[in-house]
Amino acid sequence: MKRVSSQIIKTSYRKLVLVQIFGIIVNSLNAMLDTMITSFYLGSVAVAVAGLFVPVTTFIGISYVFITGIQILCSRAVGKGDKDRAVSLFSTGMVFLLFGGLIISLGCIFFREPIAIFLRADDLVLEVSTELELLKDYILGYAFGIPAQMLLGMLTIFLPLNNDTKVSYFSIAVMIVSNLALDIIFINVFEMGMFGLGLATSISYLLSFAVSLSSFLDKDKAIHFKLGCFSFIDLGRAAVLGLPSLMFTIGCTLKGYIMNYALMSYMGAPAVAVMAVLGNICAIVGAVPMGCANALLSLGSIYYGDKDKDSLLALIRYALKFGLILSGIVTIALMFFSSAISNVFFNPPEPAFYISERMLLIFPSFLMLNTIFCIIMKIYHLQGYTTMVNIFSVSENILMALFSVAFIELIGVDAVWLSFPASEIICLVIIALIVFIKSKVITFSLQKWINLPEKFGADEKDIMLLSIASLEQVINTSKKVIDFCRRKKLSLRTSNIAGLAIEEMAGNILQHAFKKGNHVDIRIVNEEKEKSVTIKISDDCPEFNLKKRMEQFSKNPEELCKNVGIRLIAKLSEEMIYQNNIGINTLMIKIKDKNSAA
């Protein structure tokens, strides 16, 4: 089978990765800006106090249980061309997250003192006696923005499906600028202290959410919010699919609490303050492996739903290559600028500065390992291997916490920073052992490592892959498709319809949308059991809805003589679906073979 260029996959993946990384960084930048402003105006003591709240902010990430599950279900629906179901799933998720965010917000407001005590704010040995009150104030200000924070997490992930990357970037800009400005105004001008710090974050979330929401109120978008089409029964299925996110959140929450406890017991406030900085930096740079993995999940779910094995494997290979290069660059940068970064948060005479500097020389070594681990987990996830993913999602973080506690007395606070790469190595070794046990040989086969069934998708002999880049190639490609269909014993009528579909549909793309640098890929699948042939034409040209244009012509009597070929294909095909997602135009045509050829 001829393999086509995977340029469309690479281009769409890069676009999606960029949006995903920026989306994850949104929340992280708010936390980092808060830490920088807190250190500058309120001192390292306040940084340590805010650092104690990190396990709670991590716990708020429980919303990704449903966000991830809904994302997978929506991507599968998109892959099958079921737009109504995708809209219903999205709308249901939005309503559920709104109410869930309100409950968590009210819980933080009314129970902020018990939460602060549980986080051990009263145990810090500091130069002030109001650390408990400081944390209570911060929780109160932060709580108001929790619903918007949870909803924004979902919108950020779904914006690429609507091909609205500009809205993503504008939303991020609004959040960063508003949070920074309000931090300075509330703390320096109005002297609102820790309450102002939390309130500035809340307002920035609300403003960014309002900007992102505008994209989902347009009914012409592939994914939009629609009242009255909720399907709450799907939340259970989404929760099961998103369970790994819950396990990861639980693991991160426990890890943060245990590490804070170990550092507090061993060294006190300076180490806890550095842990807060590590949390901010980890959230920022961790966006690289997580963004690469999430982009793979979004795009991979579409190919998996379509049972397009060739495209799925090509996507995984590119995701690994792209992710390793990107995370490697970030690792080197963090180590090289360790002193400069530490100086942003602490002054050299402070013990926290030297602890932070050493942390940045040790901790970043986990990034490339984590990229591989995250990508493998997402591939297992979209295939439904939930038990394995759940176990790894929680154990990865628990291993970090246990390593820290076990070795902190032996090697000092370095044990906490070393726990990150150590945990990734252990997890990858376990995965390698599982692959070895299943295959009974040492193998580096990608299909073996991702546990993709050998019989996944159509048989290779029943698939034809082609690429075209000019109108001159269309006729020749049409003939190849007809010959392929005839070899597969499809009737002459069906074979000719398939060839005509290539001429009309691919020809229109090349004539009206194709520009230099664009790509058009064609995938023909002989569905022997269903006695049909499926044609998928994918391109990265500007959005061009052939089906919509055809429908408009059919309503206008004056245009009946135009685009006859397009309207004829729509009439002769069993199904014709057009969609534009993540910058990829996809036209799927299914032709039923009513009279099999001998």
Parse the chain into domains and list their residue ranges: 7-439, 460-592
| Single-letter amino acid, residue 67 | I
Rounded-to-integer distance, Cα 371 and Cα 257, Å: 24
Which tokens belong to 127? Answer: 């130069």
Rounded Cα–Cα distance for residues 92 and 70 (Å)? 9
Instruction: Tell me if residue 204 falls in helix, strand or coil.
Output: helix
Is there a contact between 97 and 154 (Cβ–Cβ < 8 Å)? yes
- The pLDDT assigned to 125 comes to 45
Give the tokens for residue 473.
Answer: 């190639």
Contact 194/134 with Cβ under 8 angstroms?
Answer: yes
Give the whole-angstrom CA distance, residue 310 versus residue 314. 6
**Taking the model in full, what pTM does it have?**
0.71
Q: Does domain 460-592 have CATH number 3.30.565.10?
A: yes
Tokens representing residue 39 in the block: 């250190």
Going by C-beta distance under 8 Å and a sequence separation of 6 or more, which residues neighbour residue 349? none
The crossing angle, in degrees rounded to 10, of helices 165-184 and 7-41 is: 10
What does the alpha-carbon distance between residue 501 and residue 474 come to, in Å, rounded to a whole number?
11
Would you call 142 exposed, middle or buried from its count of C-beta atoms within 10 A (0-12, 13-18, 19+)? buried
How many Cα atoms are found within 13 Å in the side-chain-facing hemisphere of 336? 6
Under DSSP, is residue 47 helix (H, G, I), strand (E, B) or coil?
A: helix
224-239: burial string, b at 16+ Cβ within 10 Å, e else: bbbeeebeeebbeebb
At 534, which helix (H) or strand (E)? strand 532-539
Give percent helix, percent strand, percent coil of the chain, each to the nearest 5: 75, 5, 20
Question: Which tokens is 489 given?
Answer: 């014993």
On whether the CB atoms of residues 38 and 50 are closer than 8 A, the answer is yes
Q: Which residues pair with 523 in a beta bridge?
A: 465, 536
Tokens of 503: 């001429």
Give me the tens of pLDDT residue by residue for the chain, a chain 598 residues long. 444 457 788 888 888 888 778 767 766 666 777 777 877 787 767 777 777 777 777 777 777 777 878 877 876 676 565 778 888 889 999 999 999 999 999 999 999 888 887 776 555 544 444 667 888 898 999 999 999 999 998 888 788 667 677 887 788 889 889 988 998 999 888 889 889 988 998 999 999 999 999 889 888 777 888 887 887 878 777 877 766 666 777 777 788 788 877 887 787 778 878 887 887 788 788 889 989 998 888 788 778 877 788 888 889 999 999 999 999 999 999 999 999 999 888 888 788 889 899 999 999 999 999 999 999 988 888 887 878 888 888 888 889 999 999 999 899 889 999 999 999 999 999 999 988 888 777 777 777 888 887 777 778 888 898 888 888 888 999 999 999 999 999 999 999 999 999 998 888 888 888 888 788 889 899 988 888 899 988 888 876 544 454 444 444 444 555 566 777 787 888 877 777 666 678 888 889 887 654 4
Provide the H-helix boundaries in 42-130. 44-51, 54-60, 64-79, 83-110, 112-118
Beta carbons within 10 angstroms of residue 386's beta carbon: 17
Q: What is the largest CA-CA distance in the chain?
A: 89
Cβ atoms within 10 A of the Cβ of 206, count?
18
Distance CA(18)–CA(298), nearest Å, equals 13
Residue 265: what pLDDT? Answer: 79
Angle at CA of residue 314, ends 313 and 315, nearest 5°: 90
219 three-state secondary structure = coil
**Residue 553: what pLDDT?**
40
The terminus-to-terminus CA distance of the chain in angstroms comes to 24
